[in-house]
Amino acid sequence: MSLFNEICFVLVSSFVAEQLGIKDYVLAYLDPHLQPSELLTGVSFASGASGFDPQTTQIHAYDQLNLFKEYIGKVKGMVGEERTNYILSNSFYLVLAGSDDFANTYFTVDIRKLQYDINSYTDLVVNYASNFVKELYQLGAKRIGLFGAAPIGCLPSQRTLAGGELRVCSEIYNQAAQLMNSKLSSAITSYNNSLNDPQARIVYTDTYNPLLNIILNHDKYGFSIADKWCCGTGNLEVSILCNQLTDTCSDDSVYVFWDSYHPTERGYRVLVNQILQSSLNKFF
């Protein structure tokens, strides 16, 4: 499971759940081996490389909402209406938004660049994301953490594609992510405040700065490599191209990134730790 690149919609997410002492690992809702009891403590509706822009993915964010509705029906069947409402309003929802819309769609699928400039494309994604959060709230969610886009210009894949010979961070990509995040943050904050619901904790949570900080100051966190990755050639492998057959580095704990797009397990741990330290109090 990836924490921030895909839009990842989970009730409680693995490392977060583990650190909160809830459960060690949050299974996928679509996992065929999922035990019914898992439904009551949290599941993941996340899907690889999905996004808000319908162009981004096969399993769109709104398909994840439909799975969530099905989930609610199942839980009601198990524990009844009242308990279900209690679970829904006390769960912790993490929604990770936007990085893939930019990295996989806007900057790579030409049609979007013809239709939208960066400014109007950020409006499109923010609009989808806000509507998604509204639907989630209407279905009974109260504590929703919406994570913004990562510093996509510094993801190793984007350095290779857009960072020139020296593979520097792409400023244009990073600026697009920052613009989207600032719009997302104000849209979410004003939505939360407009609800006037004392239980509502709908919180924009920054991942851009914590991850950028880890990449730029990787030594400080015990990483030695932040611009290349552990798996394969270090040039462009991502997800399924990184598999049992690919060579991997001998010690992935010194790498921030596992593949060209996703942090290593240790990379995620350090990141989640930082995010929790700065944001957890906003949810309780």
Ligand X SMILES: *[C@@H]1O[C@H](CO)[C@@H](O)[C@H](O)[C@H]1NC(C)=O
Query: Which residues of the chain form contacts with ligand X (CB under 6 A)?
Result: 189, 192-193, 196-198, 200-201, 203, 282
In the complex, what is the shortest distance from the CB of residue 146 to ligand X, in angstroms, rounded to a whole number?
10
- The CA dihedral of 233, 237, 243, 246, to the nearest 10 degrees, is -20
Query: What is the spatial distance between Cα 30 and Cα 198, in angstroms, rounded to a whole number?
Result: 33
Nearer to ligand X, 155 or 184 (CB): 184
Q: Which two tokens stand for residue 265?
A: 């397990």
CB 44 within 8 Å of CB 13: yes
In the complex, what is the shortest distance from the CB of residue 192 to ligand X, in angstroms, rounded to a whole number?
4
Nearer to ligand X, 142 or 159 (CB): 142
Nearest-CB residue for ligand X: 192
Nearer to ligand X, 186 or 235 (CB): 186
DSSP letter (8 states) at residue 179: H
In the complex, what is the shortest distance from the CB of residue 182 to ligand X, in angstroms, rounded to a whole number?
15
**Own/partner pairs for 134-141, CB < 8 Å, 24+ apart?**
134/191, 135/65, 136/65, 136/68, 136/93, 136/95, 137/195, 137/200, 137/202, 139/65, 139/68, 139/69, 139/72, 139/88, 140/72, 140/85, 140/88, 140/89, 141/88, 141/89, 141/91, 141/93
Nearer to ligand X, 126 or 200 (CB): 200
Nearer to ligand X, 273 or 279 (CB): 279
In the complex, what is the shortest distance from the CB of residue 193 to ligand X, in angstroms, rounded to a whole number?
6
Handedness of CA 205, 215, 242, 51 (dihedral sign): positive
In the complex, what is the shortest distance from the CB of residue 133 to ligand X, in angstroms, rounded to a whole number?
12
Nearer to ligand X, 90 or 193 (CB): 193
In the complex, what is the shortest distance from the CB of residue 278 to ligand X, in angstroms, rounded to a whole number?
13
Nearer to ligand X, 168 or 195 (CB): 195
Phi-psi map region of 229: left, alpha, beta (phi>0 left; psi -120 to 50 alpha): beta
Nearer to ligand X, 67 or 203 (CB): 203
Listed residue (248, 253, 206, 257) closest to 229, CA to CA: 257
Query: What is the spatial distance between Cα 215 and Cα 136, in angstroms, rounded to a whole number?
Result: 33
In the complex, what is the shortest distance from the CB of residue 191 to ligand X, in angstroms, rounded to a whole number?
9
Residue carrying the six token digits 């792409």: 170
Query: What is the spatial distance between Cα 194 and Cα 118, in angstroms, rounded to a whole number?
Result: 28
Q: Which residues contact 99 (CB under 8 A, 6 or more apart)?
A: 4, 5, 6, 149, 150, 152, 177
In the complex, what is the shortest distance from the CB of residue 15 to ligand X, in angstroms, rounded to a whole number?
22
